[in-house]
Structure 1
Amino acid sequence: MAPVAIERRALRPNDVLLDVMYCGVCHSDIHAINSDWGKTNYPCVPGHEAVGKVIAIGSAVTKFRVGDIGGVGCMVDSCGTCEQCLQDREQSCVNATTFTYDAPDKVSGGYTYGGYSDKMVVAEHFVIRIPPGMDLAAAAPLLCAGVTTFSPIRHWQVKPGQRVGVVGLGGLGHMAVKLAVAQHARVTVFTTSPGKLADANRLGAEDAVLWTEAAAMTKLTNQFDLIISTVPEAYDMQPFIQALKVDATMVNVGALGTLEGGISGMGLAFGRKSLAGSMIGGIAETQEVIDYCNARNIKADVEVIRPDQINLAFDRVTKKDVRYRFVIDMAASKI
């Protein structure tokens, strides 16, 4: 990663100009710059957890005024007319969602640039209202890590007293714990890092297990109503399928490449268990998680860095050396 000059489009009537203040570092950013999910178009400007001050608005904007705080998550455009968009699921737009970076830009041509930048120009529909008084650095990760884990908790209707497993305790995982605990679920964290066992309890989990220990996993057979997998790489999911109750679901929100084989079809069939996927959430749901967390003082655990520390931060994320989300203070680049 190195500094580069980019151009933003002139404001259209429905556009908002944000002076970016903070942007979270998602593991997806590392996958993108490494072309792990297909060839990346360089130069690539990552960042889909951006929070900034509104410094200008188009003539037709009604959602924001100059001086408001807005957030930009994982997408900046969609067709707005297909079945998915009309049901507030813009992330699944039939005519192709425009993601916040390295996606074909249907307005300006070329490819979109993300939030590791001084300013962003985004259509008002895709800018999230950040309530006054929120901790802005801690709010930034809610725009991806928050909604990505909030959405399955909502969709699978987690109820008080149910057992929820969270696989992986990183940027997504720690938010999954906090949000499931807020629903009064009984949460168990599965991790490969012994140093995170105590931290899982601090975050509100009832239990924490090293999933490399076969005996510990066997004891949890048929115990969980929902398991959320936040691990960003493929791994053997069969032990977690076994941990599901009858009719329960394991939902993958982390590994977006090819998953590993070995899942027992018979085990799925006899337990009527499900392996599902979920990706972020729509704009309405992203606003919902921001408001939900604001009302309950739920924050991401963040470590704030300067822009010149991004490469070091990427190395540390890869080594699982962050508790639990790096957030770039973009204002530090303007001093």
Structure 2
Amino acid sequence: MTIKAMGYAAQHSFSRLKPMAFEREEAGPGEVEIEVLYCGVCHSDIHQCENDWANTVYPCMPGHEVIGRVTRIGAGVTAHAIGDLVGVGCMIDSCRSCEPCHAHEEQYCEGPNSWLATYNGPMVPAAQAPDGGNMYGRDNTFGGYSNVVVVKQDFVLKIPTSLPIEAAAPILCAGVTTFSPMKYWGVKAGDTVGVVGFGGLGDMALKIAKALGAEVTIFTTTEEKVGEAQKLGAIGVLESDSDTLKSLERKFDFILSTVPEKHKSDPFIPLLKRDGTFVAVGEIGPMPGYNNQEVVMHRRVLSGSLIGSIAETQEILDFCAEKGIFPDVEVIAIQDVNKAYKKVKSGDVRFRYVIDMASLKQEMADA
């Protein structure tokens, strides 16, 4: 049995997102059907729609910051019940048999197709798989810019009731993407943490690091954002301020780059203490080279981190609820998503756009 569904999708790299009717399979054994209430807009949605990573499967229906209510459960579902407020992040399945999956780090799944993304299909498509197959049986998946999603129960998150429902959406991506490396590298009270970039990811990185007890400095190219960082209890520094950067050499335990575009790491490596760590989470494509002397002379570490596990996603949702922290958001109608994309691409947006799916429901009713 199938469900008639509606969403917004891009048909080509050069096209705008437009309404698209499609069908989803009803919830089968171990699966949960969710009415989408809100969905965050991530910069990677734009990269994917525009095929910036040369791997987009069209039509591309983005959305991996999904908040909704369970409307139906399949046989054997015990983790969720009809009416539950739940979330779906970047992943909806993994191979479940490789070493990372057994270690509950599904985001690093080493199965033949890696993990199954909430949209755009498996991370390793059949054409690139060792055996030329697709263990998930789907070359494409449609995300949360839609009225309904169907997901396996163990990839569905519980949303704490104390979180504002619309603000919970970006935690499923921006929240866990910044929290996971902080947890792995042991960011703690008293540490000095730098955050490069102050968009949606940078906003959450600042708030999480502050909640962990760290002293936070924001590095930004925008003068207005220096003041915004200060309002949130951080130090704001312009990346062009060479004198200030010089004064901060060997001051930081941990620096997290949230910039979603190709950028240089060189200006920030000297700012790390001995054994300090620089982690890039915003850009997943090629990055410019760096001066390795600055690394080896102080045993510094350059690394990367990919989103976060299902367990870490639940952990950061609960942490944000406990600490009363959540992203700054602007709620929009889905009909305004193309305008939102333009503003995000301009780099002027610090908050996170979140789509109110009641606007899609109304559009479907009017059709």
Question: Which residue type is aligned with residue 118 of structure 2?
Answer: T
Match of 1:292 among 304, 319, 326: 319
Q: How many residues align?
A: 333
Match of 1:258 among 286, 296, 302: 286
* Contact 2:26–2:33 (CA under 8 A) maintained in structure 1: no
> How far 1:296 moved relative to its partner?
1.1
- Does 1:14 pair with 2:43? no
- Does 1:28 pair with 2:44? yes
* Contact 2:335–2:359 (CA under 8 A) maintained in structure 1: no
> How far 1:11 moved relative to its partner?
1.4
* Contact 1:197–1:208 (CA under 8 A) maintained in structure 2: yes
Distance 2:35 2:258 in 1: 31
Partner of 1:98: 116
Distance 1:278 1:33 in 2: 22
Question: Which residue type is aligned with residue 101 of structure 1?
Answer: Y
Q: Could you state the TM-score of these two structures normalised by the residue count of structure 1?
A: 0.97
Between 1:121-130 and 1:212-221, the stretch displaced more is: 212-221
Residues 146-183 of structure 1, C-alpha deviations (whole Å, 9 max, x = no match): 00001111111112111000000000000000000001
**What runs of 5+ residues in structure 2 fail to find an aligned partner?**
1-16, 123-133, 363-367
**What runs of 5+ residues in structure 1 fail to find an aligned partner?**
none
Residues 248-299 of structure 1, C-alpha deviations (whole Å, 9 max, x = no match): 10000001110012x1111111110011000111100100000010111111
The share of aligned pairs that are identical, in percent, is 49
> How far 1:108 moved relative to its partner?
4.9
> How far 1:81 moved relative to its partner?
1.7
* Contact 1:174–1:203 (CA under 8 A) maintained in structure 2: no
> How far 1:109 moved relative to its partner?
2.4
- Does 1:168 pair with 2:184? no
- Does 1:68 pair with 2:84? yes
Match of 1:199 among 202, 212, 228: 228
Question: Which residue type is aligned with residue 108 of structure 2?
Answer: S
Match of 2:246 among 218, 229, 248: 218
- Does 1:248 pair with 2:271? no
* Contact 1:30–1:314 (CA under 8 A) maintained in structure 2: yes
- Does 1:189 pair with 2:193? no
Distance 1:106 1:23 in 2: 27
Counterparts of 1:244-323 in structure 2 under 5 Å?
244-261=272-289, 263-323=290-350
Question: Which residue type is aligned with residue 317 of structure 1?
Answer: V
Match of 1:120 among 123, 129, 149: 149
> How far 1:331 moved relative to its partner?
1.4
Question: Which residue type is aligned with residue 187 of structure 1?
Answer: V
Question: Which residue type is aligned with residue 123 of structure 1?
Answer: K
- Does 1:142 pair with 2:160? no
CA RMSD of aligned residues (A): 1.1
Distance 1:233 1:59 in 2: 43
Residues 68-102 of structure 1, C-alpha deviations (whole Å, 9 max, x = no match): 01100000000112111111100001101111110
